[in-house]
Structure 1
């Protein structure tokens, strides 16, 4: 089957991910490894390990789309109580001691593997860890990461087998300690992915000038070898939908990612414009995003190869700015001109979900992506 590689973040591409799983394709998700908020933040700061939140969320989306709803998936998708710390510790103990009802009725081999990873996590995290609102799936995946010599690819492989997931999910780098920062147009630096996605109104109005992705001690960020292999075998490489400056563009800064895409002259490279602006992209349009991505592409080894073969953009139906909640619809700007200059075919359509304003219609997007696959795929 043709192989589609999807660079994305979390919820924005969920409907597209699910719809693609109904197609006769092999699907690989490439997710960020620089999540610095929520449950991932607490684990990352406590253990100094790779952030696993986006990985686990993408794996759960794969499980949902593949119709996996067994007890293992239910456990991996569960969250701790947000009540008292003591209640959360008690709830975690039910899982770690194997007396939670979902674990008690599991086949012994599956239960044993999950208990091993939860206990590995508990031993590493120490007695003062705050489990409140934490993801059991994050705990299991982190435990597997630790149990398998900090090899995230092996941990993901085991997690997929436990949940019976066929689709692939890889972080673009297997290195821990990766941090994302943004430099605003006034020179202000905002450190941390969770802060960039939640810019305040003043920062959002100023806008982002550039982003910086750095490894430990300011070093470069090496690519995950599994990602390079996926890009080399891809028939289509899709960028988005998702947060442009934190979930899509940063992958270009990972070493060897852009050159690997450029070497695959067979694959389509398809950029999907978002439906709405967000705090990262207030005041921007699709054309400006393409120009920003093209600039990074050339700087990171894309040479003279065009960064995108196709661009999907939502049709602008009204001559004035319309909003959904606090955010306006993302305009297309001088998209036709930029597309011509970059050598990308622009496909403008009605990609908004008719039932969920501001979100993509996954089936429509998946149909277009399927139609763009190379003839030999």
Structure 2
């Protein structure tokens, strides 16, 4: 790392699981880049994807809003981009959207003309593309603006994100791991059955969850799933590349399937590569422990071009305080298993600490994780 340059942390993650870590890192003297999935198939993103056949923007927008929060941005543009329409009557949602798109919403009326003009342009571009029958209920205004920017800038998602960041005055970077449209995730379970769609894999029913996931795959409308060039550039300049926390099979592991991502990580021999274990099991990982998850990730790493480079240099694991299985709600704490042996086999150092938020059981203490990452960068 060059003298005087802020260390660059690249964080592979999904959405809510790494929010506290993202927020805590925003207060550190680092440059932060989030790399998020491009295969979100639920919620507002699902409706937009099905209507326009474009890249899912929900995880991108959510990560940008987290950056804005962490950086203390709370102006009218951020308020607009973080707003959701009513989930009530369809006609009411359409009327509410019109207040935004026609510039009659109070937040837009008091906005500086240049900012208001840009937002209105993107909302109107979205409205023109979406058609008359679109259901706006519970829709994210930020998703509509980002999709409109995507369409207005020749379907260049990186340009759309750049513009969105400038509108919100966000410093941190957020990129989807691929810029390909129509990327879909599917999983094959241990009984050979297939589950299509990220939202279905995340929401496995009890029987499927107990069966467990054997493997996941990505497909795109155009065939391959190439890496976003902005992601490759970020990985080349990273001082630390962090995996998780997040849904293992849908938000973390699939990034290894994006063409070019694993080789780019492997080429950066100076960066620390840190895997953060989740606090709890979930529907995707019921019955697994952290050691087994590391083995699965390492196997995919080797298959995708990692060659002889170790996938992780460090593993952050929550300390196991009790000798029996304890649950929070429907899920048990994620056990570490044979973590020391698994880490040694991969050439990684296991760092076991108390990373659970004392106020929100089952969640990470973002400050504790950020402090641990900072210490690793100082070594």
Instruction: Tell me which interval the TM-score lies in, with the shorter structure as reference length.
Output: over 0.9
Instruction: Write the distance in 2 (CA, Å) between the matches of 1:221 and 1:169.
Output: 18
Misfit runs of 4+, over 3 Å: none
Contact kept, 8 Å, 1:183 with 1:210, in 2: the verdict is yes
Q: Taking structure 1 as the reference length, what is the TM-score of the superposition? A: 0.99
- Displacement of 1:214 in angstroms is 1.2
2:110 counterpart (98, 105, 108): 105
| Contact 1:58-1:169 within 8 A present in 2 as well | yes
- How far off is 1:80 after superposition? 0.4
CA distance in 1, matches of 2:22, 2:316: 16
Tell me the TM-score normalised to structure 2 length.
Answer: 0.98
Partner-residue secondary structure (3-state), 1:291: helix
1:81 paired with 2:86, answer yes
State the alpha-carbon separation in 2 of the partners of residues 63 and 12 from structure 1.
17
Is 1:123 paired with 2:128? yes
Matched, 1:315 2:319: yes
Equivalent runs, 1:327-338 vs 2, <5 Å? 327-338=331-342
Provide Cα deviations, 1:42-98, integer angstroms capped at 9, x if missing partner: 000000000000000000000000000000000000000000100000000000000
Secondary structure in 2 aligned to 1:28? strand
Matched, 1:351 2:355: yes
Q: Is the 8 A contact 1:80 1:131 kept in 2?
A: yes
Partner Cα separation in structure 1 for residue 82 and residue 220 of structure 2: 29
Alignment of 1:213-362 (within 5 A): 213-216=218-221, 219-362=223-366
Task: State the alpha-carbon separation in 2 of the partners of residues 83 and 362 from structure 1.
Answer: 35
Cα shift at 1:220 = 2.0
Give the Cα separation in 2 of the matches to 1:106 and 1:366: 35
Q: Does the 8 Å CA contact 1:235/1:374 hold for their aligned counterparts? A: no
Aligned partner (choices 24, 28, 31) of residue 26 of structure 1: 31
- Name the residue aligned to 1:196: 201
Paired with 1:363 and 1:50, the residues of 2 have a C-alpha distance of 32
Deviations 1:3-56 (A, max 9, x none): 000000000000000000100000000000000000000000000000000000
Specify the alignment match of 1:70 in structure 2: 75
Picking from 369, 373, 377, the partner of 1:369 is 373
Paired with 2:65 and 2:133, the residues of 1 have a C-alpha distance of: 28
Q: Which residue of 1 aligns with 2:3?
A: none
